[in-house]
């Protein structure tokens, strides 16, 4: 049985949480209250996520688990076997959310092939929900036409106070689909921002909690990562922060289109400044 509620709005990124230290950090996060683990075929943390699920003391339906199909596994013959391998590596019958990690560059793999593969993974019960990652609006539109309205639970994108992607945000709102903000702390860079620090002092929390509270206030799901107990706690504190409309506006003013992740395989971004 998988998680049956809505996607927990604050999750844990697991990139970098490899080996035994990775499992210990994830178990610490669960103890703090995190209930959503984000992994991928390419992170080498699917095994650690599975071990965490089993050692957490929680029922399977109390934890939300996401994995992502790598861009090297999009071909028809690779797609579903790769998902079955992920399930075996994690040690579950079904993940809660299965994402396409990156669209195929220049449609080297036909779009329909892997998007229908994703839908088929859901039909076969490999995933309760399906979604995408690093999809610009043009690909979201192709998805809507191919799979229908509401087929996709989320689009996971780089979003933080310095990269707020307003076009994509407005499109996703109109579609009623939440975005998932990856790298929501801009790898810790939000901690050095004076305006975020000023708001943090007023709320008696650290700057990372303000960045995350802002993103959640915008309606996004957030998946910050940390291997340190102090930072895991500081980030989790975001759930108890409510920013005023004026503070939300101050945070919106920090957008400067600062993109950190832009590999050669990237699609044409909607909000490229």
Ligand X SMILES: NC(=O)c1ccc[n+]([C@@H]2O[C@H](COP(=O)([O-])OP(=O)(O)OC[C@H]3O[C@@H](n4cnc5c(N)ncnc54)[C@H](OP(=O)(O)O)[C@@H]3O)[C@@H](O)[C@H]2O)c1
Write out the residues near ligand X by the rule CB under 6 A: 13-15, 38, 101, 133-134, 156, 182-188, 191, 206, 208, 223-228, 231, 234-235, 261
Q: To the nearest whole angstrom, how small is the minimum distance from the Cβ of residue 32 to ligand X?
A: 12
Burial annotation 68-103 (CB, 10 A radius, 16+ → b, else e): bbbbebbeeebbbebbeebbebbebebbbbbbbbbb
The one catalytic residue in 3, 34, 43, 182 is 43
User: Which tokens go with 20?
Assistant: 């035994």
Q: To the nearest whole angstrom, how small is the minimum distance from the Cβ of residue 224 to ligand X?
A: 4
What is the side-by-side order of every strand in the sheet holding 12-13? 12-13, 36-38, 64-69, 95-100, 127-133, 155-158, 179-182, 221-222
- Cβ proximity to ligand X, 13 vs 117, nearer residue: 13
- Cβ proximity to ligand X, 109 vs 186, nearer residue: 186
- Cβ proximity to ligand X, 39 vs 94, nearer residue: 39
- Bridge partners, residue 34, by sequence: none
Minimal CB distance residue for ligand X: 13
- Cβ proximity to ligand X, 25 vs 245, nearer residue: 25
171 is catalytic: no
Q: To the nearest whole angstrom, how small is the minimum distance from the Cβ of residue 245 to ligand X?
A: 25
The C-alpha atoms of residue 34 and residue 40 are separated, in whole angstroms, by 18
Q: To the nearest whole angstrom, how small is the minimum distance from the Cβ of residue 259 to ligand X?
A: 12
- Cβ proximity to ligand X, 145 vs 268, nearer residue: 268
Whether the Cβ atoms of residue 219 and residue 125 lie closer than 8 Å to each other: no
Q: To the nearest whole angstrom, how small is the minimum distance from the Cβ of residue 120 to ligand X?
A: 22
Q: To the nearest whole angstrom, how small is the minimum distance from the Cβ of residue 113 to ligand X?
A: 20
Nearest to 163 by CA among 180, 142, 177, 181: 181
Whether the Cβ atoms of residue 23 and residue 16 lie closer than 8 Å to each other: no
Nearest to 7 by CA among 209, 180, 242: 180
Nearest to 271 by CA among 152, 177, 111, 160: 160
User: Which tokens go with 132?
Assistant: 């995408």
- Bridge partners, residue 182, by sequence: 158
- Cβ proximity to ligand X, 86 vs 133, nearer residue: 133
- Annotated catalytic sites, by residue? 43
């Amino acid at each position: 049985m998988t998680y049956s509620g809505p996607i927990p709005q604050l999750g844990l990124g697991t990139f970098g949480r490899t080996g035994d230290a990775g499992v210990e950090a994830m178990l610490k996060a669960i103890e703090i209250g995190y209930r959503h683990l984000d992994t991928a075929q390419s992170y080498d943390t699917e095994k650690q996520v599975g071990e965490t699920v089993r050692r957490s003391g929680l029922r399977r339906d109390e934890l939300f688990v996401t994995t992502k199909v790598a861009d090297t596994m999009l071909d028809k013959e690779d797609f579903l076997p790769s998902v079955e391998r992920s399930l075996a590596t994690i040690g579950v019958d079904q993940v809660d959310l299965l994402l396409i990690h990156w669209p195929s560059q220049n449609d080297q793999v036909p779009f329909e092939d892997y998007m229908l593969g994703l839908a088929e993974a859901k039909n076969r019960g490999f995933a309760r929900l399906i979604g995408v990652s690093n999809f610009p609006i043009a690909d979201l539109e192709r998805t809507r036409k191919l799979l229908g309205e509401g087929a996709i639970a989320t689009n996971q994108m780089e979003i933080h106070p310095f990269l707020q992607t307003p076009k994509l945000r407005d499109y996703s709102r109109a579609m009623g689909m939440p975005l998932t903000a990856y790298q929501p702390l801009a790898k810790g860079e939000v901690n050095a921002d004076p305006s975020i620090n000023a708001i943090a002092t007023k709320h008696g929390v650290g700057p990372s909690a303000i960045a995350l509270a802002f993103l959640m206030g915008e309606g996004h799901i957030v998946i910050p990562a940390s291997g340190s107990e102090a930072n895991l706690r500081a980030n989790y504190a975001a759930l108890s922060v409510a920013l005023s409309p004026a503070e939300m506006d101050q945070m919106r003013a920090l957008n400067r289109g600062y993109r950190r992740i832009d590999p050669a395989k990237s699609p044409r971004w909607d909000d490229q400044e």
